[in-house]
Amino acid sequence: MTIEATDVATGVKTKLIVFVPGIGRDRSDAFLELVRERAGSGTTVVARPQRVKPWSVRRTPDLEAANLDAYLERNTHDVDEIVLIGHSLGGLIVRSAWLKGTGSERREPSAWPVKLSRIVLLGVPNGGFKFRRGVTFLKLLYALASPFFDFAIEHAKSGGYWVTNLRILWLVAFRILPDPMRPYVAEVIGVDDVLVTGDDLTDSDQLSDAVTFRIDATDHRGLVDLRTDDEVKLRWPTLERAIFGAPEPTRRLAPLSHKRVYFIYHGIRASAHDDWVAAMRAELATGRAKVVAPDTGYFSAFEFALPFVRNRKAHQFLEKYGDVAVTHDPDNFAFLGHSNGTYMLGRSMLRVPAVRFRNILLAGTVLNPNFDWELLRRRRQIGSYGPNKNGLREWKDGAVHNERVRIDVPVGVLSAFLGGLKPFNATVGTGGTAGFVNADGVVSQDDGFYRGGHAGALSTSEMARREEIAAFLRIGKPADHPTEKPSDFFGWVGRVVPMLSWIIIGLLVALLGLLVVVLWTGGLEWWSLLVVGGPLLVAYVLLRTV
């Protein structure tokens, strides 16, 4: 992997260096001048400022990565060698552009990646940006607005859809692409950089072609801030080594674990300490398996009804999934979820095509009956890769099983109501009572129901079914067949309530408006407060206690 540049006139070798800065004023002019001076003749150094705006719904990191891929495809026909440098978010964009160019995002590969010799990452948070102290207002604004608008900041946030997909595909590409397609990766971090943590560096530990450099007394912006002689003296030698130096001996690659990994996610008004979770954790942890069963927090139907609360849980799920996928092979992942745990799974898989499980078991699911399982099957998110008889990597479809209970109030009533509030709750619905439609060949579900309430399929007979559930997660074949008949009541509610959802919301909003008017005008007679405020209080109490 050569890096020297020669004069264009000789016709021997030409080289292109492309630098993508981070968001805002990164003060990289002096840095670019030093790069140009060091590169010499025969090398073109180009800065491509990305135009991502944190609160934009149009200028996203993915769009910028696509533009960079297209730029490199158009302008590198006569170039012999390419080096990409990215600072902060620019580094994530560089990584994404390379993945697009290699065809890792299920598209035809471009020609330019075979010319890419090196990627230099300067202060790049591989796992996504984390909100720190001092940005409470931004956190609140983001939480309230993100369910309704897909902001660019959400794409690159830790646990965000885009950055999680990028993180997983990046690791997979370095595992499966042949050597000529894998560039040398030089990662540079400032010792005082609070935006890049040890967790971010864990990703690079899995790359056989990566080296990490550290620069003392340097923060996030300082990596490209070389305006003074002291800054040049302190930082440039390491930066020059990362950009122009001969590839250094790479680190000893951390082995990828191939043990089975089981994700267990509980629902609302529950915790990871519930009996059924503890029983399944003990059952699945036998042998060398890893069980991931985080406590996602105890919250009521009121919190579940709020999109920004539900979606925050999905981001937490993706953050955990990404952390595990760094060190474990997703071909061995299986999922067991109940209630809101199934929502976290469904939303995450729809938004992040790189998330996959070989087998999925749903109990008391709150997903919509029209949930697009066929899309996930086509995108190869349900199943695993493994060697065929010729030793080649081959895909094998996995299994999804939906278990329903007869008396499921949270699904049959609350999810039915929320499912009618489209488009904001399009993913939520009565899949746990009505079942899934148009999912034949992907989802198996018995005609019979389990006895009991919302968690009846998991808590029956002190988890006497735990061996059967574990067997399905391991081999994908459901063993038992419940015999309870479905409830006619929940079938009726599931048809009627969604049609009334917006009407009910309108009435509640009108009552709230009347309550404000009553209080404003001083009409505080007990009967007026009771008539106007009573329904609101009843609705709130029900949501807090269901």
- The pLDDT value given to residue 313: 86
In degrees, rounded to 5, the angle at the alpha carbon of residue 350 between the alpha carbons of residues 345 and 355 is 65
Per-residue model confidence as pLDDT tens digits over 277-305: 888 998 998 878 999 999 887 777 777 87
**Per-residue pLDDT averaged across 60-81, rounded?**
93
**Per-residue pLDDT averaged across 26-48, rounded?**
91
**Per-residue pLDDT averaged across 214-241, rounded?**
93
Per-residue model confidence as pLDDT tens digits over 72-99: 999 999 999 999 999 999 999 999 999 9
Lowest mean per-residue pLDDT among 111-115, 437-441, 490-494, 517-521: 517-521
Q: Where are the alpha helices (DSSP H) in 177-285?
A: 198-204, 229-244, 275-284
In the predicted structure, residue 6 carries a pLDDT above the cut 60: no
Query: How far apart (Å, rounded) are the C-alpha atoms in residues 209 and 221?
Result: 26
- The pLDDT value given to residue 287: 72
Secondary structure class of 401 (helix, strand, coil): strand
Q: How far, in Å, are 224, 526, 536 from residue 25 at the CA level? A: 11, 59, 49
What domains, with CATH codes, occur in the chain?
8-244 (3.40.50.1820), 261-488 (3.40.50.1820), 501-545 (no CATH)
- What single-letter amino acid sits at 2? T
- The pLDDT value given to residue 2: 36
- The pLDDT value given to residue 251: 60
**Per-residue pLDDT averaged across 382-396, rounded?**
86
Task: pLDDT band for 5, please (50, 70, 90 cuts).
Answer: very low
* Residue-averaged pLDDT of the chain: 84
> Count of alpha carbons within 13 Å of 269, Cβ hemisphere only?
10
Phi, psi (degrees; rounded to nearest 5) at 444: -100, 140
Q: Give 87's contacts (C-beta < 8 A, 6+ positions apart).
A: 19, 20, 21, 22, 26, 28, 122, 123, 124, 223, 224
In the predicted structure, residue 232 carries a pLDDT above the cut 90: yes
- The pLDDT value given to residue 69: 95
- The pLDDT value given to residue 1: 35
Per-residue model confidence as pLDDT tens digits over 201-218: 767 777 777 888 999 999
DSSP single-letter state for residue 462: G
Task: pLDDT band for 460, please (50, 70, 90 cuts).
Answer: low
What's the pTM value of the predicted model, to 2 decimals?
A: 0.85
Neighbouring CB atoms inside 10 A of 4's CB total 12
- Of 97 and 40, the structure prediction assigns the larger pLDDT to 97
Query: How far apart (Å, rounded) are the C-alpha atoms in residues 61 and 176?
Result: 25
